[in-house]
Chain A
Amino acid sequence: MGVSDGLKFFGGFKQSIKQVAEPRVTTQYPKEKAPKPPRLHGRHVLNRYEDGLEKCIGCELCAAVCPADCIYVRGADNDLDTPTSPGERYGYVYEINYLRCIHCDLCVEACPTEAITESKMFEFSFTSRADAIYTKKELVVDDEGRPQHMPWEDWRSEDELHTSGWMRATSPAGNAAMEGEVQWSAELGYGTRYPEGGQSEKRNDELTGNISIREVEKKKISIKLGGKVR
């Protein structure tokens, strides 16, 4: 057994040493969050119009469409002098049980006034079942149009930005000629959201928060294909 045979032992470390120089793939979660796509479904918010009135009209369509039966809504007539919403009625009870909600976004699709949308925050957990039932007090956005923060939720600044994905899609009618046409109402604190890009060139990824999956997963793609892995 010569010296070269003894050195073969270190050959096993070659792969390990090579890996040291590779980019780290781990998301250090409590310190940082992985980037989220604009259509991701998270905790709901109840939006308000730019003048502060609530968008919810208490029609209970979201409760009807919910496959998990997690939404409970009751409508009531608006007070004519101090209305809560622009319509005839408003939702005076609005409850979502987050231990039933499966974040399918069907309520967002069903809502005729774009009142309920989903934020990008899904990092939350409860120590009691009572915490999981969000009432209107917690769901309605604050006076700046931002979602309210519960103590058991982990909000970061980027989660509040794109509080809904589906409504920002190219054209609700599915007509490509309508791309880039805004067909939704303005929101408190955010104004009118920019429409997402589709097949046409009319898109602004910065405004819609769109990120390509290749950018997010760059640490796992080979350099030959435009990534970072050697």
Chain B
Amino acid sequence: MSSWKGLESLSHNFLTGTLEGFVKWSRKSSMWPATFGLACCAIEMMAAGAADFDLARFGMEVFRPSPRQSDLMIVAGRVSQKMAPVLRQVYDQMVEPKWVISMGVCASTGGMFNNYAIVQGVDEIVPVDVYAPGCPPAPETLIHAILTLHEKVMTGEITRRRDKTGSGAGIDLAEETPGWVQASATPVRIGTPK
């Protein structure tokens, strides 16, 4: 048993496959976010949690005040150089498995704050799984990012989360439209005078 490495040492069979699917489903279904609102994006994050968009539909309504209890860090807002070590510490205190959504352009690349005070993208500090664009992203965009992450959790492996490049779950996902996106119908042309 000296080489015991947890689930990684198990070979894949029917039982572990079913178990893996169940674990993935349960991880996806109650992914509790850490409270990490830094700027105006946090307002949209709160709006997504409130009645109008209702993150409780995805089992995510509890924003945990303690990083020990949370699975997902939504970095909402611009990260200043002074906040960067705090952000990294909160990430380190979270228990594996953990995911990061970089919400908004400021968190993703610095956005319009291209200066010495703001970190030019949180992926310089923590590994980011999904980027949500927008300034700030509307609740729909955040929910889109969360559903993309759910897709990533469901299709990725539970034991080895990071691949060699260190980015995400080591899977190629963006080639196809995810299943929850509805196919768009033929648009009705309005707005054109006769």
Contact = CB atoms under 8 A, between A and B. Distances in A.
Given A122-B140, A151-B175, A99 B109 contact: yes
B192 A123 contact: no
Interface residues of A, number: 52
Contacts of A131: 174
A99 B184 contact: no
A163 to B, nearest CB: 9
Contacts of A124: 133, 141, 144
Contacts of B184: 149, 155-157, 160
Contacts of A190: 189, 191-192
Given A102-B105, A190-B189, A193-B192, A132 B131 contact: yes
Interface residues of B, number: 52
Nearest to B101: A125
B192 A194 contact: yes
A77 to B, nearest CB: 32
A30 B185 CA distance: 15
A99 B131 contact: yes
Interface stretch (A7-15, A21-29, A56-64, A109-117): A21-29
Contact of B193 (A67, A104, A191): A191
B186 A157 contact: yes
B169 to A, nearest CB: 9
A154 to B, nearest CB: 5
Contacts of B112: 67-69, 100, 102
Interface of A: 25-31, 33-34, 67-69, 97-104, 122-129, 131-132, 146, 149, 151-152, 154-158, 160-162, 189-194, 206-209
